[in-house]
């Protein structure tokens, strides 16, 4: 077909004929629309344990998403008394050297230890944050980063 290749200026220059002749007449806008309508296939490759922006990966590769990056101490205490689990990032690096999740017996002791105390020392700050499990929105996690004292545990 001699008329196969169309005149770019006549059709506004949005045609993208490809070298193999497939998709002739498919515009970039068509491709974008097609891509937008595809079901999502997020990258499920394993991330190393630690904090990756708003995603937290624990040692068992369970993922949680960030709810509150600046959780206050009374609320953290209330969440734990209500059943949230606790994880520690002792040096506050974001988990590069490990995030440890508190075992159930120690967690039980923590619930009677009152609220955590967060250091506001500028050189050694602490921070609390809350997270929710990606696969179970009823599982809450409180992350204590840097210098946080909670019960007898110094994290």
Interface with Zn ion by CB under 5 A: which residues?
Answer: 91, 93, 97
Residue closer to Zn ion by CB (options 73, 93) is 93
Residue closer to Zn ion by CB (options 50, 77) is 50
Residue 75 has φ and ψ, to the nearest 5°, of -70, -40
Q: How far is the CB of 83 from Zn ion (least distance, A)?
A: 27
Q: How far is the CB of 93 from Zn ion (least distance, A)?
A: 3
Q: How far is the CB of 109 from Zn ion (least distance, A)?
A: 24
Residue closer to Zn ion by CB (options 16, 119) is 119
Angstrom distance (rounded) from CA 50 to CA 73? 22
Decide: 80 and 118 in contact? Cβ < 8 Å. Answer: no
Provide the pairing of β-strand 85-89 with 136-146: parallel
Q: How far is the CB of 97 from Zn ion (least distance, A)?
A: 3
Residue closer to Zn ion by CB (options 32, 97) is 97
Q: Which residue minimizes CB distance to Zn ion? A: 93
Decide: 128 and 72 in contact? Cβ < 8 Å. Answer: yes
Residue closer to Zn ion by CB (options 47, 91) is 91
All residues at 6 or more sequence positions from 95 whose CB lies less than 8 Å from its CB, including other chains: 49, 50, 51, 56, 57, 89
Write 30-36 long-range contacts (CB < 8 A, 24+).
Answer: none
Q: How many CA atoms lie within 13 A of 21 on its CB side?
A: 2
Q: How far is the CB of 19 from Zn ion (least distance, A)?
A: 51
């Amino acid at each position: 077909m001699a008329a196969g290749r169309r005149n770019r200026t006549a059709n506004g220059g949005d045609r993208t004929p490809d070298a193999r002749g497939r998709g002739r007449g498919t515009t970039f806008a068509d491709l974008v629309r097609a891509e937008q309508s595809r079901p999502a296939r997020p990258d499920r490759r394993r991330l190393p344990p630690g904090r990756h922006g708003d995603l937290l990966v624990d040692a068992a590769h369970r993922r949680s998403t960030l709810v509150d990056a600046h959780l206050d101490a009374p609320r953290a205490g209330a969440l734990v008394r209500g059943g949230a689990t606790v994880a520690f990032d002792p040096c506050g690096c974001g988990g590069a050297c490990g995030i440890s999740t508190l075992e159930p017996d120690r967690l039980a002791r923590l619930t009677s230890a009152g609220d955590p105390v967060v250091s506001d020392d500028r050189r050694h700050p602490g921070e609390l944050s809350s997270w929710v499990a990606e696969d179970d929105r009823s599982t809450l996690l409180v992350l204590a980063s840097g210098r946080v004292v909670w019960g007898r545990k110094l994290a």
